[in-house]
DNA sequence: GTAGTATGTGAGCGAACATTCACTCATGGT
DNA sequence: ACCATGAGTGAATGTTCGCTCACATACTAC
């Protein structure tokens, strides 16, 4: 038995990866990806540095996987949601509620996607499911059918996300405790007020 | 004369600092602060690393000065603008146009303030002029005078910025060439539509 | 001239960092 | 009882990067 040997508490492998994901996500949001070291993550998670590399080939891959997996999942859900509704109004309603629910379910994950969007965006290929593409398409379709006035095209497109995202952002930066879902009705109403000019 | 000596083209010191500022700002926006090295900045600016340290004591100070100087200047201008107007509607109008003008005047600087807000926010002290504080106050005052309905308080506060910022953001991320100022009328109308429910 | 000051330079330093790898050992199959 | 497997470990390694400094050059004052 070597002098370096220690007790090794084996845990469920599934649990270890989840532990890494949760810890990394939290630290990435708190400090940013670049300011978070592998040592930060591993010590906060109570694992060894090498353990992290059993699950991810690099810190960059870890950050990217946490982003892309959830980014595309969100886009796919949004797309499926849109297929269930016909009118623009119903789609906007569903979209905003989807954002609100997602925020309330996991505010840290939501913050991560929001805050790291710019940094990760260069790796997003056009073939990846993308919330922005989904939203552009349905705004365009709604406008083609005359459901919203064409003159407000650009404002309208930015607005749908603008309303809900900025309430969310003010919560990420602020200390508000209230859930976003509780505000969904007001947000839907506000967005629609802008669009049906 | 040492074997290492080279021609040294002395330039206007004022120009050198501006060169550093412009180059650093551009790279910070393109790659993020953490991913931009001193070597990146100096080589892109065509100066030596040491030269940068003649003008800034550290990379952190450089990033912070580029942020805080413009962040507070923007807040001060916004505050002065508000003092010139009485009604909430006039203030919102002026605010949105101010944002649009600022964006058009220097899109890179605007992007920097937007993208690095989260990272730099921890250094913003309460006594510093702050756009958010200015906006909170005038929304609160407008609501106290009954100019907008109290029930939409949270939405309203997020909206004023939400509308204009998200059009701006979609331009930062997108490839749109059109100026923001050209859209100012539509944005003002959209914001007001939400607020006067 | 020469002394003094301001500015520019880039090789080199050291600390921080991501990543590797030889090793340990709990577990499950035979 | 024995072995095979692979998750877990953390000291060691090589690299990156912010920053320093000895020196070079230019400008100013005398």
Kindly report, residue by residue over A97-111, the tens digit of the pLDDT: 998 899 899 988 988
* Average pLDDT value for residue range A169-197: 74
Confidence (pTM): 0.86
* For residue B150, pLDDT beyond 60: yes
Closest residue of chain B to A189, computed from CA coordinates: B194
- Cβ-Cβ contacts under 8 Å, B136 against chain A: none
User: Which residue gives the smallest C-alpha to C1' distance to C8?
Assistant: B51
Q: How far apart are CA A136 and CA A60, in angstroms?
A: 29
- Taking an 8 Å cut-off on Cβ atoms, the answer to whether A163 and B162 are in contact is yes
Q: Are B116 and B36 in contact (CB under 8 A)?
A: no
b/e B68-97 (16+ beta carbons within 10 angstroms → b): bebbeebbebbbebbeeeeebbebbbbbbb
pLDDT score recorded for residue A2: 32
- Confidence band for A81, pLDDT divided at 50, 70 and 90: very high
Which run of H or of E encompasses B100? helix B88-105
What is the reported pLDDT for A174? Answer: 63
Q: Is A31 exposed, middle or buried (0-12, 13-18, 19+ CB in 10 A)?
A: middle
Q: What pLDDT is attached to residue A148?
A: 76
Q: What average pLDDT score do residues A149-156 get?
A: 65
d(CA A84, CA B160): 32
pLDDT band at B101 (very low <50, low <70, confident <90, very high): very high
* pLDDT at position A14 over 90: no
B140 vs A86, B88, B123, B135, CA distance in Å? 39, 10, 25, 8
Note the helical H segments in chain A.
Answer: 13-31, 38-45, 49-55, 59-83, 88-105, 107-115, 117-120, 131-144, 153-173, 184-195
Which percentage of chain A shows pLDDT scores above 90? Answer: 26
Residue A70 above 50 pLDDT?
yes
Its ipTM equals 0.83
What pLDDT, on a 0 to 100 scale, did the predictor assign at position A6?
A: 37
Chain D positions within 7 A of any protein Cβ atom are 7-12, 16-27
**pLDDT, greater one: B85 or A175:** B85
Please write the tens of the pLDDT for every residue from B9-63.
456 656 889 999 999 999 999 988 989 999 999 999 999 999 999 999 999 999 9
Higher pLDDT, B104 or A164: B104
Report the pLDDT value the prediction gives residue A151, as an integer from 0 to 100: 62
Residues of B with CB below 8 A from A194's CB?
163, 190, 193-194
A159/B contact by beta carbon, under 8 A:
yes
Q: Give burial (CB, 10 Å; 0-12/13-18/19+) of A92.
A: buried
Q: Indicate the range of A43-57, A115-129, B135-149 predicted with least confidence.
A: B135-149
Residue A79, judged by CB atoms within 10 A of its CB (0-12, 13-18, 19+), counts as middle
B174 touches strand D (CB under 7 A): no
Structure tokens at B67: 């942020």
Which of the two residues, B52 and A165, has the higher pLDDT score?
B52
User: pLDDT category, A156, cuts 50, 70, 90?
Assistant: low
Is B162's CB within 8 Å of A162's CB?
Answer: yes
Confidence of residue B76 (pLDDT cuts 50, 70, 90): very high
Residue A179 pLDDT level (bands cut at 50, 70, 90): confident
- pLDDT given at position B79: 94
Confidence class of residue B8 from pLDDT cuts 50, 70 and 90? Answer: very low
Per-residue pLDDT, averaged over A106-128, amounts to: 88
Q: Quick check: B123 pLDDT over 50?
A: yes
What pLDDT band is residue A4 in, cutting at 50, 70 and 90? very low
Confidence category of residue A10, pLDDT binned at 50, 70, 90: very low
């Amino acid at each position: 038995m070597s002098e370096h040997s220690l007790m090794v508490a084996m845990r469920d492998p599934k649990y270890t990866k989840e532990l890494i994901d949760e810890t990394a996500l939290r630290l990435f949001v708190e400090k940013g990806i670049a300011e978070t070291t592998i040592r930060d993550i591993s010590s906060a998670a109570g694992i060894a540095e090498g353990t992290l590399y059993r699950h991810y080939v690099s810190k960059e891959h870890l950050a990217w996987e946490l982003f892309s997996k959830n980014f595309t999942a969100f886009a796919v859900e949004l797309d499926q949601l849109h297929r269930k509704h016909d009118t623009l109004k119903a789609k906007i309603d569903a979209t905003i509620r989807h954002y609100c629910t997602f925020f309330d379910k996991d505010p840290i994950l939501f913050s991560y996607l929001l805050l790291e969007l710019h940094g990760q965006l260069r790796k997003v290929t056009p073939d990846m499911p993308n919330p922005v593409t989904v939203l552009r398409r349905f705004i365009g379709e709604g406008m083609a059918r005359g459901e919203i006035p064409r003159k407000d095209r650009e404002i309208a497109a930015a607005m749908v996300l603008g309303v809900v995202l900025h309430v969310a952002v003010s919560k990420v930066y602020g200390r508000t405790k209230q859930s976003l879902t509780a505000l969904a009705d007001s947000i839907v109403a506000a967005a629609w007020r802008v669009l049906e000019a």
